[in-house]
Amino acid sequence: MDPLLLARLQFATTTSIHFLFVAVTLGLVTLLVGLQTAGFLTGKPVYERLTRFWGQLYVINYVLGIATGIVMEFQFGLNWSGLSRYVGNVFGAPLAIETLVAFFLESTFLGMWIFGWHRLRRGVHLALLWGVAITAYASAFWIMVANAWLQNPVGYEVRDGVAHLTDFGALLTNPTFGMAFGHVVSASLVTGGLLMAAVSAWHLLRRTPDFALFRTSLRLGLITAALSVSLLQGFGFAQFGPVTQVQPTKFGGGPDRDALVADWTARFGPGDWDPPVLSNVGLGFMILIGFGLGAVWLLLPLLWRDWIIRLRFPLWLILLGLPLPFVAMLLGWIAREVGRQPWAAYGLLPTAQAVSPVSPALMLASLIGFSLLLGALAVTNWTLLARHAARGAHDPALGRPPAPDTDPRHQPVLV
């Protein structure tokens, strides 16, 4: 057993599972902001009911997603001590900002929003949800800044065998960052939109009494997914140019690739500097799914006079298409991360030098333990989401008005 392979499998497993939680979180919180803002401006109770229903699903996914994120963070110290030691001064800066500024604020705003129903003014309560959304995007922003640095190290210098940050602005202008961040955000919006549309379609197929409610969320979900899939495709293809320039080995050969390999061979010795075939396979299937998701646009004309509901079969298509954005995100993450191999930090730190000196048996035990834990959290999440989604929106626990106090000891006494 190779400890390096086991460490990579473990990180791939935990990161992939956590990434699915993040995508649902970003997608749903954006839709929640739209729903509660519409309710605040129009005063229509339908938007408050939808906010409560989808907010409950959002909270479930968020809470369990935190647990997967904590598990993932442990691995930097456990399995990748070489990475932490060599580039931690640079790579750790955006991660620290994400934790201290974005994540802590996001959790605080969310807790106040959850317990603020019927206790805070409507404007204040809405502002808290906007705070949750803004900090959620800030969290994704800094995570992608950190990841982009591993894809293309910039703004650093090596002193005494350790990388030190010299130009913070270079992290934000990294050519592997901007379009990738837009790609992740638009993928999350596609995922959230299709999730909303699929749950709504399921209720409409069952001829739920909340027809008007899920008709509204079906329309919102489909329109969001359609608009976002166009952004998804644009940001995706826009990455090929800058990524090819800074990572000549990712997409094929050429003079730049040959010159870079010759330089690596002189510095690190001979080796296989081409990424595994899995990277291009994942990229190809992700592109196919991305084009397939563009078919969501064909469903929008059927919203006229509710033909999408009358025909019924488009609702089944939406249900069958729900797994596609999740599969595409995993394939895209494989293409991005596996395509960086054999480097932990591209051209700077080989993966073999980044792994911790851990015995194969201990690494295998860690892989099994973390995989079981993350798998259990994922199954629990989707079970709870399915169960609460199936109950409908007639009376979600989130935002339920407090019951009147019937204890006679708390009643006013007339003298």
Q: Strands 349-350 and 343-345, how do they pair?
A: antiparallel
Question: What is the SS3 assignment for 117?
Answer: coil
116 falls in which pLDDT band (50, 70, 90)?
A: very high
For the entire predicted model, the pTM comes to 0.93
Give yes or no for residue 333 having a pLDDT over 80: yes
pLDDT above 90: percentage of residues in the chain: 65
Other CB atoms within a 10 A radius of the CB of residue 313 amount to 7
- Asked if residue 198 lies in contact with residue 296, where contact means CB atoms within 8 angstroms, the answer is no
| Residue 19 C-alpha from the chain's centroid | 5
Least confident range of 15-19, 28-32, 170-174, 228-232: 15-19
Q: Which helix or strand (DSSP H or E) is residue 357 part of?
A: none
Q: Which helix or strand (DSSP H or E) is residue 315 part of?
A: helix 313-321
Provide the terminal-to-terminal Cα distance of the chain, rounded to the nearest Å.
Answer: 83
CA distance 114 to 238: 39
CA distance 192 to 261: 41
Q: What is the pLDDT of residue 409?
A: 59
- Residues 314-333 have a mean pLDDT of 95
- Residues 314-335 have a mean pLDDT of 95
Q: What is the pLDDT of residue 404?
A: 65
Backbone angles phi, psi at 23, to 5 degrees: -60, -45
56 falls in which pLDDT band (50, 70, 90)?
A: very high
CA distance 32 to 28: 6
Please name every residue paired with 63 in a beta bridge, in sequence order, or none if there are none. Answer: none
Please name every residue paired with 157 in a beta bridge, in sequence order, or none if there are none. Answer: 164
Tell me how far CA of residue 11 lies from CA of 63, 207, 273, 366, in angstroms.
21, 43, 21, 11
Looking at every residue in the chain, the average pLDDT score rounds to: 90
